[in-house]
A and B are shown apart, each in its own frame.
Chain A
Amino acid sequence: MVEEQILRGDLGALGEEALTEFVESRRWFGSKAQDVAGVRVLDSAVLRTQVPLLAAAIAEVRFGGGTHELYQLLLGFRPAEEGWEQDVVAELEGWVAYDALNDPPLARELVHMMRGETTVQAGEGAVEFRSVDFGGFADISDPRPVGVEQSNTSVVFGDELILKAYRRIEPGINPELELLRFLTEIQFPHIAPLVGWYAYSGQLIDATLGVLQEFLPGSRDGWDLALAEIASDPNGFLARLRRLGEVTGELHSALAANPSDPDFCPEEPSAESLALLTATVDEEIEQVFLDLDPDDETLGPIAGRGEEVRERLRLISHAGAVGRVIRTHGDYHLGQVLWTGEDWVVLDFEGEPARPLAERRNKRSPLRDVAGMLRSFAYAASAAELTTGSPPPEGWEERAREEFLGGYWDVVDRTIVPPGADGRQRLLTVFELEKAVYELRYELNNRPDWVRIPVAGIVRLLESDG
């Protein structure tokens, strides 16, 4: 009975309550602060008709005030007697429904379908699997999950491929697919090339559901590497940062290199673009300072200084050329780059998951990425001290910035950044301020122990000259 229902693509048997409970308890569910009124499946496609069954579903999460969000669910179904217990959504009439990405044959199925360029009809639309270049990947090894992020779930196959399934979905092409496709096509060396992707397409929504990339075994996350080497070889790491600056410059130059593609061609910002940026950052500063707890001692250095920060922003954001705007990484920090043992590779082109997709696709000054990385050095320096107990050598962060920027300015296409050193510095400062304020809000909500890092960053920007 249930099996027939599922094979017809009818997931109604799962029930609102079970779905709601399941979605609300997921790390990838982003709107935990809101009242969930209910969750229902809007459309689904059966991707595998043998046991274990596999279905992809577009689920709508409705909130009390009448707003909603859409999420991708990948659901596996096995007979209950098999005793599957991991990430169970519901048990129904002898069957267990669960999150399919943990089930090896089901995760593998997704990759097979990309290689086969399968299109599966859903109730109202279709799920389309597409291959970019499967050249060297004949056998798909068993998968292992690698951590759940806030916006997606990733699975690694052998040491060869990594599949990232997006959870919250929004209309339009995901910037990550867009950038990977662009960079893979021009064979940009500092990415993990795109192998395949899949998407939902229909009247309800057109949305990217996931991407498959080459996996780079033996690589180390830039953040972990920073923490380890700040303790063991701080000067050696500085040399790596110079290289990271160069790679970042190459990335931006590559993203700005195709004037005939409207989605990527560099553009002149409009006359009021700097004022728009200032207004946006100013608004964020005001909001964050409005909510600061006056009794929190960690906040002491910036307490009551909201107006001063805004005044500083106004001073640095006056006049001056902004360079051109291009497609950027959008959420650039040490955790988004890998050291392969020989060189740097850039990952995660989704942009900041908290911002709407349309905004993440906007062209921005490349210096916004640069500022993100500079802020990351401040984090690394503090985190090294927090985790290992020993602070980095005196002036390390300053030198890290110099090395990185030195490498970056040497390489980056001059036409996309402000012409004068003074203008670059001011624009960088605006973006660093934006980032530090964003960090402050994030840490206040999530990691109170880390609040002092953005606080120090804001103080530094207040007290720097220029």
Chain B
Amino acid sequence: MSEAGHWFESDPLWFKRAVFYEIHTRGFFDSDDDGSGDLRGIQEKLDYLQWLGIDCIWLLPMYESPLRDGGYDVADFYRVHPDYGTVEDFKNLVDAAHRRGIRVIADFVMNHTSSDHPWFQESRASKDGPKADWYVWSDTDERWTEARIIFLDTEPSNWTWDPIRGQYYWHRFFSHQPDLNYDNPEVQEAMLQALRFWLDLGIDGFRLDAVPYLYERDGTNGENLPETHEFLKRVRAEVDARYPDTVLLAEANQWPADVVDYFGDGDECHMAFHFPVMPRMFMALRREDATPIYDILRQTPHIPDNCQWGLFLRNHDELTLEMVTDEERDYMYSEYAKDPRMKLNLGIRRRLAPLLDNGRAEIELLTAIMFSLRGSPVLYYGDEIAMGDNVYLGDRDGVRTPMQWTGDRNGGFSRADFAQLYLPPLMDPVYGYQAVNVEAQLRTPSSLLRWLRRFVELRKQHPVFGLGTYEALVTSNPRIFAHIRQYEDDVVLCVHNMARSAQAVELDLSWYEGMIPEEMFGRTAFPRIGTLPYLLTLAPRGFFWFQLREGEA
């Protein structure tokens, strides 16, 4: 046995059954009292994560960066930001997590670097230096006008004039994030080399940030180009050959029909986020009508067997509304962003609990739906205790405030002086750390945190949720979202009531005649399924999950 050892059974499809937990390193736990969370802080909290039952940590970018975009502006792919620790701290974290059966993936920004990156500094310095072609330069800002501007609120153009080089450079995001030029084979090789560096340290995979935009081509919008897919396939081949059981998770905020291309034929990314399903869950809840969920799932294409959707309710970004119609977007704004400060770009910058007016039944219902769908759920740190947000903080900082561990000073996040903290912890009477914190919820049997842990555990006992088939059960009651999941001998019926009133529903379960639905949490047997429609009544925003068992003869 090698000394490092590997702490997992070989399982190339582990990510299909996994529950992911997204961590903003700066906001999780401060181990050295400097006011900023760090990698050693995460390591100190592994007991908690192991208790919660999550399978994989996803770290937001922890690389050297001027932090003008939360670390998505990388200035050195081989170094950890000094606020977060060192490469050695990272390795220690990965080792310690592995020993607890927890994997670690991290963001990796493919599309661009920070303008502070030495590559860019070298590239802008001279038009014929060795790195002159590492970025996308042009004498005109008239090219590729078909490409949309993503950060509408801050960027007037995808081109920015660089006075040093005397040319425009291309950037799909902020002007301080120049796009790398993937037409240059040296850039491709440099990025692969950076990926290998972290894989050699033991990392279990990457969330590949902003992958649709790697290439630019005339007459296109510069998204999802064939060349981009080709490069991602090259990354995958590299990973498959040398780093088994690694996952590549694509962030491609696109319609499912375009996103599926990122799976290739099972030879590109292992996972991709299902962006459009998320706003529709919120929409369905507000409209008390399951139709938007049924619709988007019907439009979701089949994906290769060795691939998986990533599902989330909220993450570190705004609740993005790029993948809805204008009309739907207006509806979402009017229902979920009543204060204009809550809007950002094409989205709403709020956490899960405030979006749902802190409604416990609503949080549980949406979590249940997310956990019941085909895909692997991704939890966002703090949402497990229903943390709030702070709309008065700029950009997306409002949803990146310190994790609330205890009711003590600084919410137990840091022993630094309050004024030193990277952001103030929430202190309002509803969501503040004195009301909402891990310790109090651990001690309260009925807390959301305790509920969620049981939920994670149940999911882990039933591979059907990660691996099974999905079959929609459309009923005559549009307020009900019902479906059946099946994997090997495990058949699970999930029924969710989107309405704020109690509902009855008749389900056509004739295919399962003779079987007995057993409610999965309390293990209560329900009446046997007969030939008539199966009648269920559900509490407001209530849900049932049943395992269908063979009835006694």
Contacts and interface: CB of A to CB of B under 8 A. Distances in A.
Given A206-B2, A272-B406, A272-B442, A65 B101 contact: no
B1 to A, nearest CB: 5
B439 A271 contact: yes
A314 B443 contact: yes
Interface string A218-243: 00000000000000000000000000
Nearest to A276: B51
Nearest to B449: A279
Nearest to B437: A272
Interface stretch (B40-48, B251-259, B505-513): B40-48
Given A272-B438, A275-B439, A280-B51, A172 B5 contact: yes
A65 B489 contact: yes
Interface stretch (B6-14, B106-114, B213-221): B6-14
A270 B443 contact: no
Nearest to A58: B9
A276 B244 CA distance: 34
A279 B51 contact: yes
Contacts of A310: 445
Contacts of A271: 405-406, 408, 412, 439
Interface string A82-104: 00000000000000000000000
A308 to B, nearest CB: 14
A206 B7 CA distance: 7
Contact of A171 (B6, B412, B450, B463): B6
Given A128-B1, A272-B438, A171 B8 contact: yes
Contact of A286 (B100, B445, B464): B445
Contacts of A314: 443
Nearest to A286: B445
B394 to A, nearest CB: 30
B537 interface: no
B165 interface: no
Chain B contact-residue range equals 35 or more
B319 interface: no
B278 interface: no
Interface string A261-280: 00000000111110110111
Given A65-B490, A204-B10, A275-B439, A283 B44 contact: no
Interface in A1-58: 35, 37
B9 A204 contact: yes
Contacts of B439: 271-272, 275
B5 A203 contact: no
A275 B6 contact: no
Interface in B82-104: 99-101
Ranked nearest first, the 4 interchain pairs of A and B with the lowest CB-CB distance are A64-B489, A275-B442, A66-B463, A358-B101
Interface of A: 35, 37, 64-67, 70, 128, 171-173, 199, 201, 203-206, 208, 269-273, 275-276, 278-280, 282-283, 286, 310, 314, 317, 356, 358-359, 361-362
21 contacts: A64-B488, A64-B489, A65-B461, A65-B463, A65-B487, A65-B490, A66-B464, A66-B467, A66-B490, A203-B244, A206-B5, A270-B44, A272-B406, A279-B51, A279-B442, A279-B453, A286-B445, A314-B443, A358-B7, A358-B100, A362-B100
